[in-house]
Structure 1
Amino acid sequence: MIDTNEMGQLPPDLLRSFMVAADTGSFTRTASLVHRTQAAVSMQMKRLESELKCELFNRQGRGVTLTPEGEILYRYSGKILELHDEALAAIAQPKLNGLVRLGAPDDYATQHLPSVLKEFALTHPLVQIEVFCEGAPCLTDKLNKGQLDLTITTSNEKSTYSAPLELVWILPERMNPADSPVLPLALFHPDCCYRTNALHALEASGRAYRIAYGSPSLAGVLAAVQGGLAIAPVTRDTRAEGCRHATPADGLPPIQPGNMELRFQPGNRSEVVSIFAGFIANQIGIAL
């Protein structure tokens, strides 16, 4: 039988400081991030080492690195803290339950939903979330028919729940647009504001173009760009291997920003939908 009196303890506050110190390699930097003094952080780490009866850090001047024992503890610390926070949240939060049906283009789902879903699940683990990834016209149709509770979509019109969406050109890393008298484009579906605003920018500047590739998904559009076959309008946070964003030296016209917005099913906004929407709004910078 294990004698728990002889085992070391792993207080959550010590583990949080330990993980920050491991990530930053500095007790001084850790102190500013966990809002303690450098001396207090050093004391925390000495206490943790005392509890576990081993050294967790190699102290080298002003920096620190993990010992083999520290590496082992680091692998477990994230799991311990995640379960700790989940348990506290499950006890402290009201027992919200229900179903939320969210519609979003695949690129928004990939970029924004992982952290939203994780954070929401920690505080409201009983809520079921269903995510539908389709183009904006299809999502709008489903929302109006009551088949979705809310959507994340784009538009050129500002709405009650919207935020500016900066658009840029993405092109193959070694492409020089000046070498293409007629620019080959990879575009989204005809109702997408990325497409509308990009074409308007080219036409207003008198730049010749041809629509070479089309896809309702970001993956499909980027495939053409990564293949060195076209350029495309995307959000500024979109990155792809072998591609780059246009610079002023490329001579491409700037694209008018669009708007990212949350839309709710008309006349049916439940408590669980509103709370989940708040998590999304915080992630993408929309004020509810």
Structure 2
Amino acid sequence: MLDTNLMTQLSPDTLRTFVAAADAGSFTQAATMVHRTQSAVSMQVKRLESELARTLFNRQGRGVALTSDGETLYRYARRLLALHDEALSAITAPRLGGKVRFGAPEDYAARFLPQALKRFAAVHPMVEVEMRCDATPNLQKRFADGGLDVMLTTEETWHGPNRRRVDLIWIVAEHGGPLDERPLPLALFHSGCRYRRNALLALEKEQIPYRIAYGSPSMAGVLAAVQAGLAVAPVTETCIISGCRRTTAQDGLPPIAPVGIGLHLAPGKASRAATSLHAFMGNELGLTV
């Protein structure tokens, strides 16, 4: 049995300061985020490093960067803070009701949302979330027309509030993929997809001839063509399924420029339910505030 009297206590206050410093890359900027002085932030971090007997940040001039131990703690710290805030909301927040219209691309809905929506429902069981899965251009049009309250979309850049970088890779059938075929057969999303655009730009830059062998508005359709050994496709790493593998440098395909994901709240006077879902999803997905 663990002796809790001998264990270091990771207080939410300390973890919040640590996460702010990691996100900002600066104790000075973190101080503004947590409403403390720079010296107070520095002292909190030093105390945490001392208690853990680990160096969490490399000091680089006026900035800081996480060490490998810091990266490990950062992943847990975000989860601990999310659970802490969720527990407080569940106990103290007023009961919310109403409906929120939430849109997201299919691959994001499958990848990011199941557990996040489950936790949101635990905190706000009376809120009805109406999900719409569609391509980003269609979601953006619907959002502009007032048909969505919150949306998660693919973005050209990951810089800015409520955004995050997403890396793209090539995948091919584990056995018998068409890597040596020219023109290279591709399985791609619709013509407005940024995955598609970045992948084609990468091939054109390296002067690799290609042909679009399969097009699909859904991730399932793209993966089916790859799994069958009929094409290669640009996806995120978490989309790899049984029978497919990530390509390597030896396979000869060029790297694909990353994209961003962005979370948006409809302008104007949003409902409390919509505002709560937007804030909750931003925290769950680790998006930059």
* SS in structure 1 of the partner of residue 279 of structure 2: helix
1:154 aligns with 2:154: yes
TM superposition score normalised by structure 2: 0.67
Q: TM-score, normalised by structure 1?
A: 0.67
Corresponding residue number in structure 2 for 1:279: 280
Partner of 2:228: 227
* Matched ranges for 1:180-195 at <5 A: 180-195=181-196
Deviation of 1:140 after TM superposition, in Å, equals 0.8
**Aligned pair 1:106/2:83, yes or no?**
no
**Which stretch of the first structure deviates more once superposed, 203-212 or 94-103?**
94-103
- 5+ residue gaps, structure 2, are 8-85
Whether the 8 Å contact between 1:167 and 1:257 is mirrored in structure 2 is yes
Matched residues in 2 for 1:178 and 1:228: separation?
10
* Larger CA deviation: 107-116 vs 259-268: 259-268
Report which stretch shifted further, 106-115 or 190-199.
106-115
* SS at structure 2 position matched to 1:274: helix
Question: Shift of the alpha carbon at 1:287?
Answer: 2.5
Q: Is residue 98–residue 128 contact of structure 1 (8 Å, CA) maintained in 2?
A: yes
Query: Could you report, residue by residue, the CA deviation over 1:2-34 in whole angstroms, capped at 9, with x for unpaired residues?
Result: xxxxxxxxxxxxxxxxxxxxxxxxx6xxx59xx
Aligned 8 A contact 1:90 1:125 in 2? no
Instruction: Note the alpha carbon deviations across 1:129-183, whole angstroms, 9 max, x for none.
Output: 1100111111111101111101111021344321111000011112465521221
Question: What does residue 117 of structure 1 align with?
Answer: 117
Find the structure with the greater CA-based Rg. Answer: 1
- Report SS of the residue matched to 1:169: strand
Judge which range, 88-97 or 116-125, deviates more.
88-97
Distance 1:227 1:177 in 2: 10
SS in 1 for 2:223: helix
TM-superposed CA distance for 1:261, in Å, is 0.6
Assess if the C-alpha contact under 8 Å between 1:164 and 1:257 holds in 2: yes
Deviations 1:183-241 (A, max 9, x none): 10000111111000000000001111100000111011111001110000001221211
Residue in structure 2 matched with residue 163 of structure 1 by the alignment: 164
CA distance in 2, matches of 1:178, 1:105: 28
Partner AA of 1:93 in structure 2 = A
- Say yes or no: does 1:269 pair with 2:266: no
Q: CA 1:162–1:246 in 2, change beyond 3 Å: closer, same or farther?
A: same
Query: For the structure 1 residues 268 and 187, does the alpha-carbon distance in structure 2 shift closer, same or farther, using more than 3 Å as the test?
Result: farther
Cα offsets for 1:238-266 (capped at 9, x unmatched): 12110001111111100000011112223
How large is the Cα RMSD of the aligned pairs? 2.4
User: How far apart are the structure 1 equivalents of 2:274 and 2:219?
Assistant: 27
Q: Is the 8 A contact 2:153 2:263 kept in 1?
A: yes
2:87, 2:280 → 1: CA distance? 19
Shift of 1:128: 0.9
* Structure 1 contact 194–234 (Cα < 8 Å) conserved: yes
Question: Which has the higher mean CA deviation after the structures are superposed, 109-118 or 272-281?
Answer: 272-281
* Distance 1:87-1:270 versus aligned 2 partners, 3 A rule: closer
Aligned CA distance change for structure 1 residues 87 and 165 (closer, same or farther; 3 Å) = closer
The equivalent residue for 1:45 is none
Identity of aligned residues (%): 47
SS of structure 1 residue aligned to 2:185: strand
Assess if the C-alpha contact under 8 Å between 1:154 and 1:261 holds in 2: yes
Moved more, 275-284 or 256-265: 275-284
Question: Match for 2:255: what amino acid?
Answer: P
Amino acid at match of 2:175: R
Q: Residue 179 of structure 2 contacts residue 251 of structure 2 at CA under 8 Å; is this kept in 1?
A: yes
